[in-house]
Protein backbone atom coordinates (compact mmCIF):
# COMPACT_ATOMS: atom_id res chain seq x y z
CA UNK A 1 0.00 0.00 0.00
CA UNK A 2 1.41 3.36 -1.02
CA UNK A 3 1.79 6.13 1.55
CA UNK A 4 -0.17 9.28 0.73
CA UNK A 5 0.09 12.61 2.45
CA UNK A 6 -3.28 14.24 1.89
CA UNK A 7 -3.68 17.67 3.42
CA UNK A 8 -7.45 17.31 3.01
CA UNK A 9 -7.38 14.55 5.65
CA UNK A 10 -5.99 16.95 8.25
CA UNK A 11 -8.23 18.83 10.63
CA UNK A 12 -7.75 22.47 11.58
CA UNK A 13 -5.16 21.52 14.22
CA UNK A 14 -3.11 19.44 11.77
CA UNK A 15 -4.25 16.07 13.11
CA UNK A 16 -5.18 13.33 10.67
CA UNK A 17 -8.92 12.70 10.60
CA UNK A 18 -10.15 9.20 11.29
CA UNK A 19 -11.10 7.26 8.20
CA UNK A 20 -13.60 4.45 8.78
CA UNK A 21 -13.74 1.54 6.40
CA UNK A 22 -16.80 -0.30 5.18
CA UNK A 23 -17.89 -3.54 6.79
CA UNK A 24 -20.25 -6.22 5.57
CA UNK A 25 -23.90 -5.58 6.30
CA UNK A 26 -25.76 -8.21 8.25
CA UNK A 27 -29.38 -9.00 7.56
CA UNK A 28 -31.88 -11.64 8.57
CA UNK A 29 -30.76 -13.67 5.56
CA UNK A 30 -27.09 -13.58 6.53
CA UNK A 31 -24.27 -11.24 5.57
CA UNK A 32 -24.59 -9.08 2.47
CA UNK A 33 -21.47 -7.79 0.82
CA UNK A 34 -21.09 -4.05 1.24
CA UNK A 35 -21.37 -1.91 -1.85
CA UNK A 36 -20.43 1.22 0.08
CA UNK A 37 -17.67 3.48 -1.24
CA UNK A 38 -14.31 3.49 0.58
CA UNK A 39 -14.41 5.22 4.00
CA UNK A 40 -18.19 4.82 4.24
CA UNK A 41 -19.69 2.57 6.95
CA UNK A 42 -22.43 0.11 6.03
CA UNK A 43 -25.39 -0.46 8.36
CA UNK A 44 -28.69 -2.11 7.47
CA UNK A 45 -29.63 -0.74 4.02
CA UNK A 46 -27.50 2.43 4.04
CA UNK A 47 -23.94 3.69 3.84
CA UNK A 48 -22.75 6.48 6.15
CA UNK A 49 -19.87 8.94 5.95
CA UNK A 50 -18.98 10.76 9.16
CA UNK A 51 -17.37 14.19 9.10
CA UNK A 52 -15.68 15.37 5.92
CA UNK A 53 -14.83 18.89 7.14
CA UNK A 54 -16.09 21.58 9.51
CA UNK A 55 -18.83 23.52 7.73
CA UNK A 56 -22.26 25.06 8.09
CA UNK A 57 -25.37 22.90 7.77
CA UNK A 58 -25.98 24.12 4.20
CA UNK A 59 -22.38 23.46 3.17
CA UNK A 60 -22.53 19.94 4.63
CA UNK A 61 -25.80 19.37 2.75
CA UNK A 62 -24.07 20.49 -0.47
CA UNK A 63 -21.05 18.23 0.17
CA UNK A 64 -23.31 15.22 0.77
CA UNK A 65 -25.19 16.02 -2.44
CA UNK A 66 -21.90 16.11 -4.37
CA UNK A 67 -21.25 12.60 -3.03
CA UNK A 68 -24.63 11.41 -4.36
CA UNK A 69 -26.01 11.26 -0.82
CA UNK A 70 -27.93 13.41 1.66
CA UNK A 71 -27.54 14.54 5.26
CA UNK A 72 -28.55 11.76 7.65
CA UNK A 73 -32.25 10.94 8.03
CA UNK A 74 -32.90 8.82 11.13
CA UNK A 75 -35.73 6.42 10.30
CA UNK A 76 -35.70 3.95 13.21
CA UNK A 77 -34.52 3.39 16.78
CA UNK A 78 -31.99 0.83 15.43
CA UNK A 79 -30.51 3.46 13.13
CA UNK A 80 -30.44 6.01 15.97
CA UNK A 81 -28.61 3.48 18.18
CA UNK A 82 -26.06 2.82 15.42
CA UNK A 83 -25.48 6.56 14.85
CA UNK A 84 -25.10 7.40 18.55
CA UNK A 85 -22.57 4.56 18.91
CA UNK A 86 -20.54 5.88 15.95
CA UNK A 87 -20.51 9.52 17.11
CA UNK A 88 -19.60 8.49 20.67
CA UNK A 89 -16.16 7.56 19.26
CA UNK A 90 -15.66 11.29 18.58
CA UNK A 91 -16.88 12.96 21.80
CA UNK A 92 -15.28 16.31 20.93
CA UNK A 93 -17.28 16.66 17.70
CA UNK A 94 -20.87 17.43 16.78
CA UNK A 95 -22.43 16.22 13.52
CA UNK A 96 -25.12 17.86 11.40
CA UNK A 97 -28.08 15.68 10.45
CA UNK A 98 -30.65 16.36 7.72
CA UNK A 99 -33.25 17.99 9.95
CA UNK A 100 -34.10 21.70 9.72
CA UNK A 101 -36.97 24.17 9.72
CA UNK A 102 -37.68 27.31 7.72
CA UNK A 103 -38.52 29.51 10.74
CA UNK A 104 -38.22 29.38 14.52
CA UNK A 105 -41.68 28.01 15.27
CA UNK A 106 -42.08 26.05 12.04
CA UNK A 107 -42.19 22.25 11.78
CA UNK A 108 -38.94 20.25 11.72
CA UNK A 109 -38.54 18.62 8.30
CA UNK A 110 -36.09 16.09 6.93
CA UNK A 111 -34.22 16.96 3.73
CA UNK A 112 -36.71 14.89 1.68
CA UNK A 113 -39.57 17.06 3.00
CA UNK A 114 -41.00 14.47 5.40
CA UNK A 115 -42.06 15.60 8.89
CA UNK A 116 -39.98 14.77 11.95
CA UNK A 117 -41.59 12.33 14.39
CA UNK A 118 -40.83 13.26 18.03
CA UNK A 119 -41.56 9.64 19.02
CA UNK A 120 -38.08 8.67 17.80
CA UNK A 121 -36.04 11.26 19.73
CA UNK A 122 -36.32 14.68 21.35
CA UNK A 123 -34.55 17.78 20.04
CA UNK A 124 -33.00 19.70 22.93
CA UNK A 125 -33.11 23.46 22.65
CA UNK A 126 -29.88 25.45 22.83
CA UNK A 127 -31.59 28.83 22.39
CA UNK A 128 -30.37 31.28 25.04
CA UNK A 129 -31.68 34.54 23.56
CA UNK A 130 -35.25 35.33 22.61
CA UNK A 131 -34.36 36.53 19.10
CA UNK A 132 -32.04 33.63 18.40
CA UNK A 133 -33.11 31.14 15.73
CA UNK A 134 -31.70 27.65 15.86
CA UNK A 135 -33.20 26.07 12.76
CA UNK A 136 -30.84 23.16 12.08
CA UNK A 137 -30.11 19.99 14.08
CA UNK A 138 -26.93 18.23 15.12
CA UNK A 139 -26.04 15.25 17.26
CA UNK A 140 -23.37 15.42 19.94
CA UNK A 141 -22.43 12.13 21.63
CA UNK A 142 -25.97 10.74 22.16
CA UNK A 143 -27.95 13.97 22.42
CA UNK A 144 -29.67 15.80 19.57
CA UNK A 145 -29.77 19.60 19.69
CA UNK A 146 -31.08 22.49 17.64
CA UNK A 147 -28.36 24.91 16.57
CA UNK A 148 -27.56 27.94 14.40
CA UNK A 149 -27.26 26.62 10.84
CA UNK A 150 -24.09 28.65 10.30
CA UNK A 151 -22.14 27.01 13.15
CA UNK A 152 -19.19 25.02 11.78
CA UNK A 153 -19.53 21.31 12.44
CA UNK A 154 -19.04 17.97 10.75
CA UNK A 155 -21.91 16.25 8.96
CA UNK A 156 -23.16 12.71 8.47
CA UNK A 157 -23.92 11.78 4.87
CA UNK A 158 -26.20 8.84 4.12
CA UNK A 159 -26.90 6.96 0.93
CA UNK A 160 -29.09 3.91 0.44
CA UNK A 161 -27.32 0.70 -0.54
CA UNK A 162 -28.01 -0.22 -4.13
CA UNK A 163 -30.02 -3.43 -4.38
In angstroms, what CA-CA distances link 7 with 17, 52, 79, 83, 134? 10, 12, 32, 27, 32
Q: Is the pLDDT of residue 21 over 70?
A: no
Q: Is the pLDDT of residue 97 over 70?
A: yes
Q: Are 144 and 137 in contact (CB under 8 A)?
A: yes
In angstroms, what CA-CA distances link 82 with 10, 38, 149? 26, 19, 24
Coil, strand, or helix at residue 116? coil
Say which DSSP state 7 is in: G
Q: 70-71 and 41-43: which strand pairing?
A: unpaired
Q: In whole angstroms, what separates CA 19 from the centre of its chain?
A: 15
CA distance 108 to 75: 14
Number of neighbouring beta carbons within 10 Å of residue 111: 17
Structure confidence at residue 34 (pLDDT): 61
Average pLDDT over residues 108-127: 92
Q: Which has more pLDDT, 156 or 11? A: 156
Average pLDDT, the chain: 82
Structure confidence at residue 131 (pLDDT): 58
Average pLDDT over residues 92-99: 96
CA distance 155 to 141: 13
Structure confidence at residue 4 (pLDDT): 39
CA distance 146 to 125: 5
Q: Which of 98, 96, 92 is nearest to 17 (CA)?
A: 92
Give percent of the chain above pLDDT 90.
Answer: 64
Structure confidence at residue 129 (pLDDT): 65
Q: Which has more pLDDT, 73 or 6? A: 73
Amino acid sequence: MAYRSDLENLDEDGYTQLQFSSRPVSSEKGVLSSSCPPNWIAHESSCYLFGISLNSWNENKRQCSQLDSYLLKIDSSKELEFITKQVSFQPDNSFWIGLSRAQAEGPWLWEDGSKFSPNLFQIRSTVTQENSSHNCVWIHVSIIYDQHCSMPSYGICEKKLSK
